[in-house]
Amino acid sequence: MVRHIPCGTFVNESERLACERLRAKLQAAPGDWIILSNLNHAQHPSVRSDEIDAVVIGPPGVFVLDSFQEADGYPGELVFYSLVDPAAPTLSERRKDSGWDLPARLAYAQAACAALRQFHQPQDPNLTAIVHRRLSPESLRVRHNGAPLFTDFNLTRLQDAETISPAQVDFGDLLPFVAAEVRQGGLAAADARSDIAALCASLLTLFEPGAPLSDKVRGILELGCAPNPTDRPPLDDLAQALAKLTPAEAPAASPSLPPADYWDEDTVVDFQQSRYKIVGRLGRGGIGQTFKVVELDAHSDEKFGTYVAKLVRDAADGEAAILAYKRVRAYTTHPNLSTIHAFAPDWEPDRFVALMKWVEGQPLHDLTGVLDLYAEDLGEASAEALAQRWLMDLCAALGELHRVGLVHGDVSPKNLIVQGGTLVLTDYDTVALAGETARGGTFPYTSPAVQARQAIQPADDLYALVASLFHCLTDREPFAYGTERRKDRGLNWDGIEGYATLRPFLDRATHPDPAQRFADALEGGRFLNDQVREAHPNTDRKPIKTAPPALTPNTVPWLRQLLSSYPGSRHGNSETRGLDSPFAEATYVETRLDDTLLAEIEAGEINLVILFGNAGDGKTAFLQHLARRLGLPDIHSSRRVWETRLSGGKQLKVNLDGAAFAPSQLGLGVPLRLTPRTPTESAFWVVKPWERFDLKPALPSAAVGLVAVA
């Protein structure tokens, strides 16, 4: 049975017809349904909603419909709307959260009693009291802020109105939460007091016996479960008794942000200095979860954009996903790739790892078996022609990744979104460099190598893409042969006719022998383009003669060396250490001093050279260059003291670290003292035979000393 309650007037005939179609559709569905429509035009302000047009109450729970909107191209004929299932966890799920402490559970129990009272005794005189009659830990949900949410109204009836048969009902697993009188007399015996018993029995599951506070709460709730309905306290009394148990200095009843498993609609999450409100949960898997979110202004609820938020549970998987998004972000500008909006610098528990642009559409999986009808709606010649166009687009999109050595890793019907006749690839959690170990994939569509977690290659993306399109085209799992999945036999074409243009491409991309497959999407795209042009010579598609060049990491070694020539450089300062690299030697600039000093040393006119200056001003490089020209073979600065015999018989001794200089290193037995006779502004002092300095004792005439002093 379907009961339709208009809360306001219809604005146009389209809205009225849409409600009639919805009502007719629900008539064919099992169970009892209630439609509350026209909330956006409701006369009473407490019911009016600018965002919600209708609410449907049925066996699965409560569904919210957004405003009816006319479909493009069909004004006054077709309208569409959305059904939203609450993402809040059930009470039976949330009770397992060890972080949900006793004070927070107590606050929830108190709020649930107050909320049920509003069903039984609504404050608004225009609203009719209802009896839920199906309260249980499965129909009670917990919102992100700890507030209760009631669902599953398929047995609900209006107060004092019999809307269903009084026959016995098999409650199954719900029996422990059914009031005694309902067990005996059936649903016809249920009233508001029966709801009290069911609610208290459900809330008891939150409080394990043993703790003093928990035992006190259980004592109050057990009063509401009394076998005799007349012995059950009113909801107001239960709520007040629970309120008295609230600790005087208790913290907030619920944490500001619960674990991600318990997020629901309107949960606000901080990410990258912005706020994002969850619209709904898109999916949940073993690795993480996906949410539809909208960005909010920092100081208001103004919305700026809609995105897909990715969250990963495990730290190792999270860091790998962040690396994947970092690698691929710059190459997601192709129109058939979902653009990456942002990614986290590091993994954090219960925080997003990445945001992608929201792609409005439906997964390719939803068109499985009906692609012919969809192609007809788009005006395509056939489903094969539509698949050809999609494959060409996706080959070009994947080619953007393959050109730079990246592989998507999880091309599948759930990650291919159909948007307005185009196909968009999304979800980059498993992106890896070609040759790395595969990290994911959807089993029915992955290549054997990816399935075995071996090295992944660009050809594996094309393999999965073709397997996905084959499934959608033929409504057959691509490698299923009876009860076996045999990827060693290729695609299963048994009993399938047609697809003459596509089949050579599909078969080669999924060939059992990897050597026979396309190397990457670029090669596959050229092959398919040629096939289409051969089958349709009058097509406007231009031939693809050559593949675009493969891109390699954009590195310039000499530029990195140049950036290492400065103290404090984030690339290191290896080039500040003299002539320790070919780059340093190649960029050394000789001056007249190099030639003059070399000539005077070789002529025996100089016995000692001492260089003074600041760190990094070239003293080491100068001495290294001079020493090499004097015949020293190894001039690396890691050796701070050098010795060699010059061609004229003199011994050359060099110390690159004046701070560690010891006179004995130059053959002196006592401390060296230099007394300048005349001041000099030179950055180096050259000691000729006792010409400008008093040197006591004298350096042996058979030695030449070079010392750098910072």
Q: Encode pLDDT of 30-64 as tens digits.
A: 667 777 776 655 555 544 444 455 666 665 554 54
Residue 608 forms beta bridges with which residues? 687, 705
Strand, helix or coil for residue 58: strand
Calpha distance 385→284 (Å, rounded): 34
Q: What is the 3-state secondary structure (H, E, C) of 129-168?
A: CEECCCCCCCCEEECCCCCEEECCCCCCEECCCCCCCCCC
Q: What is the pLDDT of residue 462?
A: 97
For residue 462, give the amino acid letter: L
Mean pLDDT, all residues of the chain: 80
Instruction: Name the E strands within 189-287.
Output: 268-271, 274-284
Give the closest residue to 528 by CA, choosing from 512, 513, 510, 508: 508
| 278 and 267 Cβ atoms separated by less than 8 Å | yes
pLDDT at 88 over 90: no
In angstroms, what is the C-alpha Rg of the chain?
Answer: 40
In this prediction, residue 698 has a pLDDT band, given cuts at 50, 70 and 90, of: very low
Calpha distance 503→493 (Å, rounded): 9
- The separation between CA 303 and the C-alpha centre of its own chain, rounded to angstroms, equals 21
pLDDT tens-place string over residues 185-239: 888 888 899 999 999 999 999 999 988 999 999 999 999 999 999 999 999 999 9
Q: What is the pLDDT of residue 568?
A: 64
Q: Which residue has the tokens 């159909």?
A: 418
Q: What percent of the chain has pLDDT over 70?
A: 75
Q: What is the pLDDT of residue 160?
A: 65
List helix spans (H) across 499-657: 503-509, 521-535, 557-563, 582-586, 592-602, 619-629
Torsion sign across C-alpha atoms 307, 66, 135, 58: negative
| 330 and 343 Cβ atoms separated by less than 8 Å | no
Arithmetic mean of pLDDT, 421-432: 93
Calpha distance 588→577 (Å, rounded): 12
Q: What is the pLDDT of residue 570?
A: 66
Higher pLDDT, 303 or 468: 468
Structure tokens at 239: 């709520």
Calpha distance 521→523 (Å, rounded): 5
Q: What is the pLDDT of residue 674?
A: 44
Query: What do you get for the CA distance between the two ends of the chain, in Å?
Result: 95
59-65-69 Cα angle (round to 5): 145
- The separation between CA 682 and the C-alpha centre of its own chain, rounded to angstroms, equals 62
Give the closest residue to 572 by CA, choosing from 587, 561, 588: 561
Q: Which residue has the tokens 């109204």?
A: 153
Whether the model clears a pTM of 0.75, i.e. scores above it, the answer is no
DSSP 8-state assignment for residue 590: -
DSSP 8-state assignment for residue 547: P
Arithmetic mean of pLDDT, 633-660: 76
Arithmetic mean of pLDDT, 109-128: 88
Q: What is the pLDDT of residue 329?
A: 93
Angle, to 10 degrees, between the axis of helix 383-402 and the axis of helix 521-535?
150
Structure tokens at 478: 């691509």
Residue 418 forms beta bridges with which residues? 362, 423
Angle, to 10 degrees, between the axis of helix 383-402 and the axis of helix 458-474?
160
DSSP 8-state assignment for residue 455: B
Counting beta carbons within 10 angstroms of the beta carbon of residue 56, is it exposed (0 to 12), middle (13 to 18) or buried (19 or more)? buried
pLDDT tens-place string over residues 138-176: 999 998 888 899 988 878 877 666 655 555 667 788 889
Dihedral Cα 374, 400, 454, 510, nearest 10 deg: 40
Arithmetic mean of pLDDT, 562-586: 71
| 318 and 312 Cβ atoms separated by less than 8 Å | yes
Instruction: Name the E strands within 201-287.
Output: 268-271, 274-284
Containing 218, the helix (H) or strand (E) segment is helix 212-224
Number of C-beta neighbours around residue 477 at 10 A = 15
pLDDT tens-place string over residues 648-659: 777 888 877 665
pLDDT tens-place string over residues 582-593: 888 888 889 898
Calpha distance 336→411 (Å, rounded): 13
Torsion sign across C-alpha atoms 364, 368, 374, 380: positive
Give the closest residue to 132 by CA, choosing from 254, 235, 28, 49: 235
Dihedral Cα 358, 361, 364, 367, nearest 10 deg: 170
| 358 and 279 Cβ atoms separated by less than 8 Å | no
Q: Which residue has the tokens 């788009």?
A: 378
Arithmetic mean of pLDDT, 238-267: 78
* Helices and strands in the chain: count of H runs, count of E runs: 18, 31
Length of the chain: 710
Torsion sign across C-alpha atoms 459, 465, 467, 473: negative
Contacts of 548-551 spanning 24+ positions with Cβ under 8 A: 548/399, 548/403, 548/522, 549/403, 550/403, 550/404, 550/405, 551/403, 551/404, 551/405
pLDDT at 595 over 80: yes
